[in-house]
């Protein structure tokens, strides 16, 4: 009984209290800074009963895992040894690297040794692209931070903890699902555990550029086609009088500014002959920032996005978003995607489909994916994992969602291709849900008013063959988006008879539609799981959706089959959601060609309209 009580108390021991944290706000543009990679082989210990925590209090002679203790004399009893433990690749998920951990949900400890030679006039930030889901970080035995959330970056200033020579970082990662989490207990994708994105040591001066933003304003002056770009920047500390130089050589921009008492600068740039970023011409400009000893480079595009009635306007012109939804998962059973090559592979499939838009579902994807999509000319919908039924009345849950929103925007606010921040997916209606999501939508708009706000709604009002969308969140979003599965979760024969009413003067995106098929399984068009069934479903849905007033785009579900523990039908699903237009191995299903043909017609119609203008 004493051990049980102690274990409950030891979930957050005193040694791990907030006062021990040394976290700093997210450092922007890490990929273009001077970094030392800690990627590679990490030793790991599976800790089903949290012994790595408990031993610190219960059995101090055996120590906690985070201390990386070693026997000092022959009779010492220490029941773990990272150096004798197996290793796996980081970044990476444990599910696909260790067969014993395929279904595992719980704690795994990771350890990496490295050599470091600190500089007296520099700071070192320990950066994690993401770890799923609840993460404690230790450097040389000292707890430096605790992060909750599986899809956004976090970092800590570890300068004062690093030694000249050998160092050790140990990370406790726990992917257990919890009702108060974002996402919550139940979701329809694989709960990959581990350190799933890069681990880097970031070298910065004592005063450095923490974040910055460049955004093209919608207004333009008539004379000379001058465009206005808002620029803002903040340092990591409130230092007045620091000189910040911004240059964009191709635009002949070079400005020097002085930070205010809060360590911030802001101005509006006037530029001419600006080539706007678009899917057909994904133009990026070299941008250079200098502040003291801190020099940053970025490649930034400029575009505007807004709505006019039931149209979405990109750079002032109506656009139809030929989209597809994508999960962050490698093909061929490879687990969580985590590099540019993985992103390019998936986006190349979307390019074959004729897409100009991707919905990165149901969480912020890695920065490599967003940047590669930008280079390849894909507009992006970026989403928070506020999915299905959340603990709507829990303040900690809301703060978790808000923190993830802040991190998502802070990392990607300079990516021209992101045009939609999505705050939720398929959330059942209730007053508590409306309160939660409206607060989140207001926060998103306050953080960034240069993009559109949306969410994937559920259709709850239906008179058999007439659907009327009703959602109190309509006043908080710019784009009305909803999921529908006519033909899959409702009779396949219903689509030709169905009508839709969206009683809001806003553009409409069908954020999901589709149905499952096992690649290579053929039969009658009314036989579930056949490619012919999925093909017919797409034909009838496309004909139905084309009649929706204000239809401005679709992101069918989904690009490729992906793993899900909810999909248990043996011989057909085998723990895969089979709604992909590609199989996990890259085989195109028959529905792929139906959607591509429709998107080709949409593209041709758009080009003809432009010629008429």
Return the minimum-mean-pLDDT range out of 209-223, 260-274, 484-498, 582-596: 209-223
Return the CATH number at 8: 2.60.120.260
Overall residue count recorded for the chain in this entry:
613
Summarize pLDDT for 509-545 with one digit per residue, the tens. Answer: 999 999 999 999 999 999 999 999 999 999 999 999 9
Number of H helices, E strands in the chain: 8, 33
Mean pLDDT of 418-430: 96
Q: How confident is the model at residue 184 (pLDDT cuts 50, 70, 90)?
A: very high
- Is 308 domain-assigned? no
Question: What phi-psi label fits residue 92: left (phi over 0), alpha (psi between -120 and 50 degrees) or beta?
Answer: left
Return the CATH number at 513: 3.20.20.80
Question: 299 and 329: one domain?
Answer: no
Question: 411 and 517: one domain?
Answer: yes
- Is 376 domain-assigned? yes
Q: How confident is the model at residue 219 (pLDDT cuts 50, 70, 90)?
A: low
Return the minimum-mean-pLDDT range out of 57-71, 77-91, 139-153, 487-501: 57-71
What pLDDT does 14 receive?
29
Q: Write out the residue range of the structural domain in which residue 50 sits.
A: 2-205
Give the Cα separation of 241 and 259 in Å (integer): 5
Mean pLDDT of 432-449: 97
What pLDDT does 224 receive?
55
Q: How confident is the model at residue 461 (pLDDT cuts 50, 70, 90)?
A: low
Return the minimum-mean-pLDDT range out of 3-17, 199-213, 366-380, 442-456: 3-17
- Dump the DSSP string for 215-258: EEEEEE-SGGG-EEEEEEEEESS--TT-EEEEEEGGGTEEEEEE
What pLDDT does 464 receive?
77
Q: Which residue has the tokens 């279904």?
A: 103
Question: 422 and 557: one domain?
Answer: yes
Q: Name beta bridge partners: 154.
A: 128
Residue 363: CB partners within 8 Å, gap ≥ 6? 150, 151, 183, 328, 383, 384, 385
Q: How far apart are the first and last CA of the chain?
A: 79
DSSP state for residue 278 in the 8-state scheme:
-
Q: HEC string of 174-212?
A: ECCCCCCCCCCCCCCCCCCCECCCCEEEEEEECCCEEEE
Residue 40: CB partners within 8 Å, gap ≥ 6? 89, 90, 112
- Dump the DSSP string for 126-156: EEES--BSEEEEEETTEEEEEEE-SSS-EEE
Nearest alpha-carbon partner for 508 in 451, 563, 546, 463: 546
Q: Name beta bridge partners: 298.
A: 287
Last-in-domain residue among 205, 233, 261: 205
Give the Cα separation of 304 and 289 in Å (integer): 23
Q: Which two tokens stand for residue 299?
A: 């490649």
- Is 142 domain-assigned? yes
Return the CATH number at 254: 2.60.40.10
Residue 288: CB atoms within 10 A of its CB come to: 15
- Is 583 domain-assigned? yes
User: HSE on the CB side for 134, CA within 13 Å?
Assistant: 15
Contact 226, 217 (CB under 8 A): no
* Burial profile 444-479: b = 16 or more Cβ within 10 angstroms, e = fewer: bbebbebbbbbbbbebeeeeeeebebebebeebbbb
Mean pLDDT of 375-387: 98
- Is 595 domain-assigned? yes
- Indicate if the pLDDT at residue 468 is higher than 70: yes
Q: Looking only at Cα atoms, what is the longest distance across the chain?
A: 87
What pLDDT does 11 receive?
31
Give the Cα separation of 210 and 28 in Å (integer): 6
Last-in-domain residue among 235, 269, 303: 303
Residue 99: CB partners within 8 Å, gap ≥ 6? none
What pLDDT does 460 receive?
63
Nearest alpha-carbon partner for 328 in 315, 339, 317, 316: 339
What pLDDT does 533 receive?
97
Q: Name beta bridge partners: 529.
A: 517
Q: How confident is the model at residue 121 (pLDDT cuts 50, 70, 90)?
A: confident
Question: 438 and 522: one domain?
Answer: yes
- Indicate if the pLDDT at residue 57 is higher than 50: no
User: HSE on the CB side for 459, CA within 13 Å?
Assistant: 25
Mean pLDDT of 205-227: 83
Question: 464 and 600: one domain?
Answer: yes
Quote the distance between the C-alpha of residue 173 and its chain's center. Answer: 19
- Is 263 domain-assigned? yes
Contact 78, 69 (CB under 8 A): yes
- Is 365 domain-assigned? yes
Last-in-domain residue among 280, 303, 326: 303
Question: 200 and 222: one domain?
Answer: no
Give the Cα separation of 336 and 132 in Å (integer): 11
Q: Name beta bridge partners: 45.
A: 109
Question: 90 and 15: one domain?
Answer: yes
Mean pLDDT of 355-384: 98
* Burial profile 499-519: b = 16 or more Cβ within 10 angstroms, e = fewer: ebebebebbbbbbbbbbbbbb
Nearest alpha-carbon partner for 192 in 98, 112, 110: 98
Question: Which residue would you say has higher pLDDT here, 494 or 574?
Answer: 574
Mean of the per-residue pLDDT values of the chain? 92
- Is 310 domain-assigned? no
Question: 473 and 344: one domain?
Answer: yes
Give the Cα separation of 315 and 320 in Å (integer): 13
Question: 173 and 67: one domain?
Answer: yes
**E strand segments, 486-565:** 499-501, 508-512, 551-554, 562-563
The total domain count for the chain is 3
Helix (H) or strand (E) holding 544, with range, is helix 531-545
**Is the peptide bond between 112 and the residue preceding it cis, with omega within 30 degrees of 0?**
no
Contact 584, 567 (CB under 8 A): no
Question: 376 and 495: one domain?
Answer: yes
* Burial profile 196-222: b = 16 or more Cβ within 10 angstroms, e = fewer: bbbbbbbbbbebbbbbbbbbbeeeeee
Above pLDDT 70, what percent of the chain? 92
Question: 439 and 517: one domain?
Answer: yes
Question: 200 and 240: one domain?
Answer: no
């Amino acid at each position: 009984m004493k051990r049980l009580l102690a274990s409950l108390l030891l979930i957050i021991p005193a040694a791990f209290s907030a006062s021990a944290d040394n976290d700093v706000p997210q450092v922007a543009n890490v990929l273009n800074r001077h970094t030392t990679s800690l990627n590679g082989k990490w030793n790991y210990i599976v800790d089903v009963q949290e012994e790595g925590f408990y031993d610190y209090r219960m059995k101090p002679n055996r120590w906690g895992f985070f201390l990386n203790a070693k026997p000092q004399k022959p009779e010492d009893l220490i029941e773990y040894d990272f150096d004798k433990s197996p290793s796996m690749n980081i970044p990476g998920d444990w599910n696909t690297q260790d067969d014993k951990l395929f279904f595992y949900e719980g704690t795994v400890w990771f350890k990496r040794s490295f050599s470091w030679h600190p500089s007296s006039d520099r700071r070192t930030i320990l950066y994690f692209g993401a770890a799923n889901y609840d993460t404690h970080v230790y450097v040389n035995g000292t707890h430096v931070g605790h992060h909750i959330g599986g899809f956004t970056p976090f970092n800590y200033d570890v300068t004062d903890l690093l030694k000249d020579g050998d160092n050790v970082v140990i990370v406790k990662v726990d992917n257990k699902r919890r009702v108060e989490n974002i996402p919550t207990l139940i979701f329809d994708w694989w709960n990959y555990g581990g350190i799933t994105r890069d681990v880097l040591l970031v070298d910065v001066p004592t005063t450095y550029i923490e974040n910055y933003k460049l955004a093209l304003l919608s207004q333009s002056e008539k004379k000379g086609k001058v465009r206005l770009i808002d620029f803002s920047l903040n340092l990591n500390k409130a230092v007045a009088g620091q000189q910040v130089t911004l240059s964009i050589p191709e635009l002949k921009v070079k400005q020097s500014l002085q930070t205010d008492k809060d360590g911030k600068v802001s101005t509006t740039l006037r530029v001419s002959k600006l080539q706007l970023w678009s899917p057909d011409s994904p133009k990026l400009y070299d941008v250079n920032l200098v502040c003291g000893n801190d020099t940053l480079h970025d490649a930034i595009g400029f575009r505007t996005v807004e709505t006019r009635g039931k149209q979405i306007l990109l750079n002032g012109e109506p656009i139809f978003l030929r989209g597809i939804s994508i999960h962050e998962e490698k093909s061929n059973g490879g687990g969580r995607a985590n590099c540019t090559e993985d992103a390019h592979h998936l986006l190349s499939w979307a390019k074959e489909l004729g897409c100009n838009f991707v919905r990165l579902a149901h969480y912020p994807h890695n920065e490599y994916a967003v940047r590669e999509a930008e280079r390849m000319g894909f507009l992006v919908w970026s989403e928070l994992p506020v999915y299905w039924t959340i603990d709507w009345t829990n303040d900690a849950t809301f703060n978790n969602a808000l923190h993830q929103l802040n991190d998502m925007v802070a990392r990607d606010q300079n990516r021209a291709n992101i045009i939609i921040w999505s705050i939720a997916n398929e959330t059942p209606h209730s007053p508590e849900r409306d309160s939660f999501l409206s607060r989140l939508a207001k926060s998103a708009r306050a953080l960034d008013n240069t993009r559109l706000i949306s969410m994937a709604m559920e259709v709850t009002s239906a008179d058999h063959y007439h659907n009327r969308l009703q959602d109190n969140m309509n006043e908080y979003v710019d784009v009305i988006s909803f999921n529908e599965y006519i033909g899959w979760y409702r009779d396949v024969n219903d689509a030709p008879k169905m009508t839709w009413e969206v009683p809001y003067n806003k553009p409409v995106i069908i954020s999901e539609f589709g149905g499952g098929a096992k690649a290579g399984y053929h039969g009658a068009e009314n036989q579930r799981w056949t490619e012919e069934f999925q093909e017919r479903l797409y034909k009838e849905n496309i004909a139905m959706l084309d009649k929706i007033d204000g239809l401005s785009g679709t992101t069918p579900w989904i690009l490729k089959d992906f793993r899900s523990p909810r999909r248990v039908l043996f011989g057909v699903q085998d723990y895969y959601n089979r709604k992909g237009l590609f199989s996990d191995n890259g085989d195109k299903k028959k529905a792929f060609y139906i959607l591509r043909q429709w998107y080709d017609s949409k593209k041709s119609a758009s080009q003809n309209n432009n010629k008429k203008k």
